[in-house]
Structure formats: C-alpha cells, structure tokens
Amino acid sequence: MKQKIKMMKLMTVILATLPLAAIAMAIFALTAATSFAADNKTLSWEFGDGQVHGWQIVSGEVGFYDGGMASATYETRDAEQATFLARSPMFRLNGGGGLKVTLKGGMGKPLPATARQVLAKPGTSKGGPMGLALRRVTDDAYVLFFEKSKTHEQTITVAKEELDKLIARSHDEVYTLDLVDGLHGGWGHLPLVRASVAATPVDPLPKPPAGFGTPARHLFLGSKHGRLEFDKKELWATPGSKVSLTLFNSDEMAHNFILCQPGDKVANELGEFVIGNLAETIKTAYVPPDPRVIAHTDLVAPGTSDTIYITVPNTPGDYPYVCTFPGHHQLMRGVLHVTAELAEPKVDVLKPPMPGDAFRVTVTDRPIIVRGPLHGSGPASICVGTLSGAQFAFDPARCIVAKTWMSPNGELVNTKPAWDGRGGNFLQMMGQGRFSAAKDAKPLDLGGGDVPPDFRGYEIGDDGYPSFHYQLGDSTVLVRVVPAGDGLDANFTLKPAPTGATYTLGETQSIGEAAEQGTAVKVGTNFTVHFNTK
C-alpha cells in the first residue's frame, strides 16, 4: 500500500514538471550521441569473392575456398593452432524477418556457452568446437548456434518467429555472428558461404576519451517498451577492466544510466533525491551530485543512444545501476557484478526448429523419453526429461537411476552424436550434471547375494512419467521416478519386501531424514529415494 501511494505521488510530480522535462529533453537531445536507423533492413554477406566484408578476424587466419570464408589452416591441425574466429559487425535484430546461413564442409561440433571459452587454449589434440553462432555481445553468450550436419552444403533457416522471441526478451540487444573453427586433430573445415539476417547495423561507437585505452568488452543496455525497466537486470565485468556501455533508448520517454557504489539503499536514495530536487537535477541529466556515482550517461532521448566508457572498480562486489529519470528508479535498475571470473551467462538458449537442431531434445509440455548410449548410464540408457527440468537416466543393465542432471530450460540430450550420419557416438547430456552412479553401484540389497537384476521394461503413466520394472532375486521391483521438491523422487515398491532389505544412499540421495552418503537404510515394501538436483 505504501509503495502504491508513493508511486501516485511521483506521477503527480512528473506531470507537474512535464513542461520543464520537455525542455530538458530538447536540450539534451542535442548532446545525445548516436542515432540509429529504424528501417527494416536485411544484413547479408556473400563470401564467394574472397573478401571478409567487414567481418573481424578475432583469432586465427582466414582463408577462402569451396566458395566460402573459413580457417586458413584445415588440412593438418594440432593443439597449438589457434582457434579461428571470424566475427560479423555488430547488429540489432529488427524483426523484419529471419536468419539464413549457408555452410559447407564437414560435421560441426558443439560450441560452448560463450565466445571467450572458444578462445581459451584447449590444449587438446582432438575435437574442439566448430560452428556458427549468434553471439550476444554484452555477455559474450552464444545464444543460438548451428552445428552443421554431415550434409556437404547446408542452409539453416531460423524463422522470424524465433528471432521475435529474442527481440521480445531484449529489444535493443546487440549481436554478432561468430564463425568458429577450433577443430583440432582432424580434417574438418567449415566455409561460410553466405549469411543474412533481418537486422540493423550498430553504428560505430564514438571513440573513448583520450587516455582511456581500448575497451575489452562492450556492454549494451536497452529499456523494455512500455515498462519502466532495463532489458537486463544484471551485467558482469571483471575488476579494473575497461568497458564501453551503450544505453539504447527505443522507448517513448527519456532514460539515463547511473552506475553506483555498492549498497542496498543507494539506487533508491539517488532516485528520491532527483524527485526532491527536480529543478536542480534537470541541469545534470538527473544525475545527483553524489560521491557514490561512479559513472553515468547523458539523459538519452527516445530514438537515440549514448555511449560511455567505464573503468570498472577494482573491488569486487555488486554495483547497482539505475535510471533516475523522475519516477523510474524503483523499477528501472539492475546490478553490475564485478567478479574476478566472469560467470557463465544465464543463457536462455533459443532452440529454433531447424535441421541439425532437431537433434537437441527439449521438454516442452510433456515428459520425453530418449533411449540410447549415455556415458555413465550404459549403452541402452533410458533418458527421461521431466517438466521440472530435473532430468535423469535409468540404466537397464544395472537397473538403477544412474545419472541426474538439471536443465532449467528443459533440455534433455543432444542426439546428434548418435543420430546424425552414421552416429556412433554417445548421447550428449544437456544441462548441469548432479548425480552419477559408481560403476559397480548396487544400492538395493535384498539379501540375495550378487544376483544381477533382470530388466523387465517400463510403463508410462497418465502423467507421462515411466515406472521401471525389474526382477531382483525373488522380488519384483517397481520404481517410479517423478519430479518432487528440489529434485526427483524414486518411488520404490518391492514385491515381496524381504526382511533386512536395505538401500544404500549415494550422493544427492536421501530417504526420509536419512541423508548421509553410504548409509544403508532399512526399507520395506514402499519407500522413496529422493534425489536432490538443485
């Protein structure tokens, strides 16, 4: 209630000061930096002519063959050779269409989550990433990537509807296309023949102030249309690093960006100061004269942007940022995490349906079962994707839940290694591994000695979750695994339950209160083993 009244008060204040604000905007519009084109253009590149067409060779050497642009070295590779990375100019998706890419060459290999991981020294003599990715510049994340199939020439299309999802999440996000060839120990090559995307180029950023040096990274912020929020509530940087920060404003009202010293109350206090001192703070782009202000943009008018250069503080911590345009500060804020190591970005990776990507199995509205070889769970694993993102694999040879993993965006496995071309490789678990059973794990002891279990099959319930059946000695065991709480419940039924039956807890497992790994818990006809997957 209190908050609501406060908001009302603010609105009244804003309305009263509108005429002044309008003048302020007019003044600051003149000093605002870059403007961008709002037309629906398509960016396209053709690489058949041996030119890089404005793409930056970030690492490695560029070559041209087979009608496309690729790594110069592909015939003999070893661990010492640098990953080849060619990067398109920066652009923003404009919703005018989709993305189309034509690649040639051999089968691709999975790319990691970020560009910086691709450039890190792999030190391996085999394998390595190979593919084309859509990279989000601000956190270096590979939001979308195309693992080429074995087909020699492959054109991959991402529909407009899929790009619209990205745009909806962040209207002014800045991307590049990264062509990555870090394959070692093999003959593979990946010429990029052409690429086109419904996008608008980002104008060249203004030069940093004299003496600043070269920024290591470029951060981009936008605002959410119709809502007083930045499109990103979190940014990341390393202590002492030099970055550019550009605030795009494609909204209907002006905004600013202020980076502050750590503190819970700082953003609020700055915002409230502005409201209490409108006449004064108008003159300074609504930035209060407060020593806790580290850096700030100008007041950015709608349809414009401003770029500033920041030397990130040396002290790790959480540095709030906020827009202090009157009334915006409560919602329009975020945190810059200054950490020694950049965290793996929270990537909501887009999974558009396309050839090659059909191999990535993702749960949507119903549990999914995929059967195949999975490391740690046997060559005939039964992998189950649940609706909670807690995934597991059942090994029918040992008759145990052999693996669990966590996948907030519902990914289960990448079947490409097993189902593309001749296959021959194991399914790839997608997500964060949580539990992996020991090779000789035999948690359920019914006192029958070392008799191996006999897998009998599984039955899918109305909710889509399977119950596994197996014979262990003289008993029939039924195990139904469903999401529960912070993980999964494996609900056991023994018929009959011999006296002295025990279940020995593995990592992440608990039965009732018992949660210590290695505990042999006495069990009866019905019992539940909980697997924590948080």
Partner 1 sequence: MQIHFLSLLAIAAVVSSVRAADPDYKITNIPAPDGVVLEVGGMDWMPDGRLMMCTRRGDIWSFQPEKGEWKQFASGLHEPLGLVAGKDNDEIYVLQRAELTRVTDTDKDGVAERFESFGKGWGYTGNYHEYAFGLVRDKEGSFYGALGLGFFPRGEPFKPTWCSHGNVPWRGWLFKITADGKYVPLNPGCREPNSVGISPDGDVFVTDNQGSYVPSGVLNHAEPGAFLGHPDGLMFDKRHPDAASYDLEKLNSMRKRPALYLPYREMGMSCTAPRWDTTGGKFGPFAGDVLIGDVNTPKINRGTLEKVDGQFQGAAYPFLEAGELGGGSNRMTFHPKTGALYVGQTARGWGSGHGLKMIEWTGKTSMGLQEVSLTKDGFKITFTQPAAEVKADSFTIGSWVPEYTGNYGSKRLDKKTHQVSGVKLSADGLVAEVAVEGLAGDRLFQIDVRNVASKSGGAMRNGKAYYTLNRLRK
413 or 505: CB nearest partner 1: 413
Instruction: Give me 327's structure tokens.
Output: 């009334």
Q: Helix or strand or coil: residue 119?
A: helix
Could you tell me the smallest distance in angstroms from the CB atom of residue 392 to partner 1? 14
First to last CA, the chain: 35
For partner 1, the binding residue among 347, 380, 387, 441 (CB under 8 A) is 380
Part of the chain binding partner 1 (CB under 8 A), chosen from 2-10, 153-161, 205-213, 377-385: 377-385
Residue 519's Cβ-count burial label (10 Å; 0-12, 13-18, 19+) is middle
> Quick check: 361 binds partner 1 (CB under 8 A)?
yes
d(CA 502, CA 518): 11
- Answer whether 146's CB lies under 8 Å from 133's CB: yes
Give the binding-site size for partner 1 (rule: CB under 8 A): 33
At which residue do the structure tokens 């204040």 appear?
A: 13
> Quick check: 161 binds partner 1 (CB under 8 A)?
no
- Answer whether 294's CB lies under 8 Å from 319's CB: yes
Give the strands of the sheet with 378-385, arranged side by side. Answer: 368-374, 378-385, 390-395, 400-406, 432-436
Could you tell me the smallest distance in angstroms from the CB atom of residue 465 to partner 1? 11
For partner 1, the binding residue among 36, 65, 309, 426 (CB under 8 A) is 426
131 or 372: CB nearest partner 1: 372
Part of the chain binding partner 1 (CB under 8 A), chosen from 24-32, 50-58, 75-83, 367-375: 367-375
> Quick check: 4 binds partner 1 (CB under 8 A)?
no
Could you tell me the smallest distance in angstroms from the CB atom of residue 416 to partner 1? 12
For partner 1, the binding residue among 99, 382, 481, 482 (CB under 8 A) is 382
For partner 1, the binding residue among 48, 50, 240, 379 (CB under 8 A) is 379
Could you tell me the smallest distance in angstroms from the CB atom of residue 127 to partner 1? 18
- Answer whether 295's CB lies under 8 Å from 308's CB: yes
Residue 471 bridge partners (DSSP): 454, 476
> Quick check: 424 binds partner 1 (CB under 8 A)?
yes
Could you tell me the smallest distance in angstroms from the CB atom of residue 162 to partner 1? 14
460 or 514: CB nearest partner 1: 460
Instruction: Give me 366's structure tokens.
Output: 């119903």
For partner 1, the binding residue among 368, 400, 477, 501 (CB under 8 A) is 368
For partner 1, the binding residue among 282, 322, 370, 446 (CB under 8 A) is 370
60 or 453: CB nearest partner 1: 453
For partner 1, the binding residue among 60, 191, 372, 453 (CB under 8 A) is 372
d(CA 12, CA 182): 58
Interaction mask 436-465, partner 1, x per CB under 8 A: -------------------xxxxxxx----
For partner 1, the binding residue among 169, 218, 371, 442 (CB under 8 A) is 371
382 or 501: CB nearest partner 1: 382
DSSP string, 154-183: EEEEE-HHHHHHHHHH-TT--EEEEEEE--
Residue 218 bridge partners (DSSP): 244
Q: 472: closest CA among 458, 455, 453? A: 453
In 255-354, the DSSP E strands lie at 258-260, 293-296, 304-311, 317-322, 333-338
Residue 37's Cβ-count burial label (10 Å; 0-12, 13-18, 19+) is exposed
Interaction mask 384-423, partner 1, x per CB under 8 A: ------------x------------------x--xxxxxx
Q: Which residues bind partner 1 (CB under 8 A)?
A: 353, 358, 361, 364-366, 368-373, 379-380, 382, 396, 415, 418-426, 455-461
